[in-house]
Structure 1
Amino acid sequence: MQTTRCFVAVQIGPPAISMLSKLLGKLGSSCGGVRWTRAEQLHLTLKFCGEVDNILLPKICEAMRAAVSGVEPFRVDLSGLGAFPKGKPPRVVWVGMDSGVEPLRWIHGELDRSLEEIGIPREVRPFAPHITLGRVARGADLSKLEQAIESLQAEAVSDFEVDEVVLMAATKERGKPVYDIIDSVDL
């Protein structure tokens, strides 16, 4: 059986990528112990599918098409910088959204329902749309990270248009994640 590690996502437009790249540069220079996301890998995950049998890929693509059927293109306003989980040592540094959240939740919910029918489990946690900027490693200086997140809040502002959804394959090359588009669906 051949498998593919994949996820359904929204790609981010160039102005937002530019802002996020600058933000990543500042975060990276102010605190170590975090595996920062490379600019070309930034995306908004709608549904992580995991390692799936390649036979399921066409069905995932069908579910993606059904989930966005009737959804018009919309804008997402990025705002806010933070870390998950709350109240515990952070594992993920993220940028959040002010607007565009409801259509993202709708698409996620439709994907979750239809993909469960083909054996991909529903998400356990509530969907919180965000863009992952980095993953915190053990031994990271959490006080410096917290200070950096606080001081850069005002710079985490941009927007982009969501006009397509993509199915991405996730592989590793020389230990770094690489994402390739398997299929895309226009809104």
Structure 2
Amino acid sequence: MTQRLFVAVVPPPAVREAWDAFLEPRRDTGTDLRWVVPESWHVTLAFMGRVADRAGDDLDEALAAVAARTTPFTVGVAGGGAFPDPEAAKVLWLGVTEGARELGELAVRCRNAATRCGIEVDGGRFRPHVTVARANGQRVLRWLQVLDAIERQPWQVERFRLVRSQLLPGGAGYQTVGEYDLT
């Protein structure tokens, strides 16, 4: 058996609540955006689409070692963007404006830990962001202006999580399977 896993930094409840309070009155605008629920907002450090169940213990130990070598740091999120671009967006996101270097270093360490466990890590260049909505290849320039108005939300990163992702009819469902405190 295999599972879909990812390593993520999750914003604290107060930060998610602030973003949600800003976005809530703007979500129901008749657009085709599919909004990500606030409980699912995170910064993905490493995504592993096919992890053998038997590799879980090794990965857990490897990620614990990464956490033991990483000190807490501050992340700030403000402004928005779109993948692949604002003219034909599939993803609408909030961008990391502070702590991007530290998140990048943590992402490399987590990806390397997974690779050493024989797990293939998906994805290319790391671009720290929080996905807030999905689109169908539509133009989202107006939404980028809206996201740019969100007040900067800094927080202290003190842990990261290993999360199981299950594809469900209404979107992905997430379950935390490991949590790793930074030293």
Name the counterpart of 1:160: 155
Q: Is the contact made by 1:24 and 1:133 (CA closer than 8 Å) also made in structure 2?
A: no
Residues 11 and 175 of structure 1: is their aligned pair in 2 closer, same or farther, counting only changes over 3 Å?
Answer: same
Q: Which runs of 4+ in 1 moved over 4 A?
A: none
Deviations 1:65-96 (A, max 9, x none): 22222211111111111101137511111001
Q: Is the contact made by 1:19 and 1:157 (CA closer than 8 Å) also made in structure 2?
A: no
| 1:86-165 equivalences in 2 (<5 Å) | 86=85, 89-138=88-137, 140=138, 142=139, 145-165=140-160
| Number of equivalenced pairs | 182
Looking at structure 2, the residues matched to 31 and 66 of structure 1 have their Cα atoms a distance apart, in angstroms, of 47
Name the counterpart of 1:6: 5
Residues 146 and 26 of structure 1: is their aligned pair in 2 closer, same or farther, counting only changes over 3 Å?
Answer: farther
Deviations 1:29-55 (A, max 9, x none): 235212210011111111011121110
Task: Give the CA deviation at 1:20.
Answer: 1.9
Q: Is the contact made by 2:4 and 2:50 (CA closer than 8 Å) also made in structure 1?
A: yes
Looking at structure 1, the residues matched to 44 and 147 of structure 2 have their Cα atoms a distance apart, in angstroms, of 23
Q: Is the contact made by 1:112 and 1:123 (CA closer than 8 Å) also made in structure 2?
A: no
Q: Which runs of 5+ in 1 are unaligned?
A: none
Name the counterpart of 1:41: 40
Name the counterpart of 1:180: 175
Looking at structure 2, the residues matched to 43 and 96 of structure 1 have their Cα atoms a distance apart, in angstroms, of 11
Residue 50 (str. 1) matches residue 49 (str. 2): yes
Residues 26 and 106 of structure 1: is their aligned pair in 2 closer, same or farther, counting only changes over 3 Å?
Answer: same
**SS state at 1:128 partner:** coil
Residues 74 and 114 of structure 1: is their aligned pair in 2 closer, same or farther, counting only changes over 3 Å?
Answer: same
Q: Which runs of 5+ in 2 are unaligned?
A: none
Residue 61 (str. 1) matches residue 60 (str. 2): yes
Task: Give the CA deviation at 1:21.
Answer: 1.1
Looking at structure 2, the residues matched to 30 and 56 of structure 1 have their Cα atoms a distance apart, in angstroms, of 44
Residues 51 and 147 of structure 1: is their aligned pair in 2 closer, same or farther, counting only changes over 3 Å?
Answer: same
Task: Give the CA deviation at 1:106.
Answer: 0.9
Looking at structure 2, the residues matched to 164 and 91 of structure 1 have their Cα atoms a distance apart, in angstroms, of 29
Residues 116 and 27 of structure 1: is their aligned pair in 2 closer, same or farther, counting only changes over 3 Å?
Answer: farther
**SS state at 1:30 partner:** coil
Task: Give the CA deviation at 1:172.
Answer: 4.1
Residues 73 and 17 of structure 1: is their aligned pair in 2 closer, same or farther, counting only changes over 3 Å?
Answer: same
